[in-house]
A and B are shown apart, each in its own frame.
Chain A
Amino acid sequence: KNEVEQSPQNLTAQEGEFITINCSYSVGISALHWLQQHPGGGIVSLFMLSSGKKKHGRLIATINIQEKHSSLHITASHPRDSAVYICAVSLTTGTASKLTFGTGTRLQVTL
């Protein structure tokens, strides 16, 4: 069993839909990260959070430490949001940037 599990693996949505991507982890963490990767592109850090909720534009990330679960929400989705979204954790035994990754959620937003 992976230490970081994401669901769904693939997601197709129509433009304007509200999207939720889930991440569960089974280890002690100091922080959780949401990353975005476009096909053939680099990796962009969207959020780093250790509690509560963060919002940036149309993106919202939440974390429940007791349940070891995080969600990434995209409101009013747009085709440019099409990318792979990756959940990663910083273990309590390591540094903040030594990350353990989920396998990613491939999102496609259509017109």
Chain B
Amino acid sequence: NAGVMQNPRHLVRRRGQEARLRCSPMKGHSHVYWYRQLPEEGLKFMVYLQKENIIDESGMPKERFSAEFPKEGPSILRIQQVVRGDSAAYFCASSPGVQGEAFFGQGTRLTVV
């Protein structure tokens, strides 16, 4: 039973490019959370999704960031027109239900040059 899979593990983008981060939840998990860890800062909640629905996006920047969790396939966190300040580790976690414990992926480390 594979854990939460995130890819790529490392991603380098030039300013202005798009970044796509993927998260495949654990088998049987239909709830996905995205978190961001800025350099030398703590983790912050970004968005919570269930299949085909965004439940809570209160932590998402209003512009350039979007997330989806389609019926088939992984959850995608998309950052358009990246800037240096987007450089961070992005973690995905999945859980089997609303009150289930979350399991984290290895993270994607985004570097914007």
Contacts and interface: CB of A to CB of B under 8 A. Distances in A.
Interface in A6-38: 30, 33, 35
Interface stretch (A58-66, A72-80, A91-99): A91-99
Contact of B91 (A33, A42, A94, A96): A42
Interface residues of B, number: 25
A103 B31 CA distance: 25
Contacts of B105: 42
B106 A97 contact: no
Residue of B35, B41, B101 with most chain A CB atoms under a 10 A cut-off? B101
Given A42-B91, A98-B56, A103 B42 contact: yes
Interface in B28-66: 31, 33, 35, 41-45, 48, 55-56
B93 interface: yes
A96 B107 contact: no
Residue of A44, A86, A98 with most chain B CB atoms under a 10 A cut-off: A98
Contacts of A100: 45
A100 B102 CA distance: 13
Contacts of B109: 40
Interface of B: 31, 33, 35, 41-45, 48, 55-56, 91, 93, 95, 98-107, 109
Given A42-B107, A86-B43, 11 more contacts: A40-B109, A42-B91, A95-B99, A96-B98, A96-B99, A97-B95, A97-B102, A98-B56, A99-B102, A100-B45, A102-B42
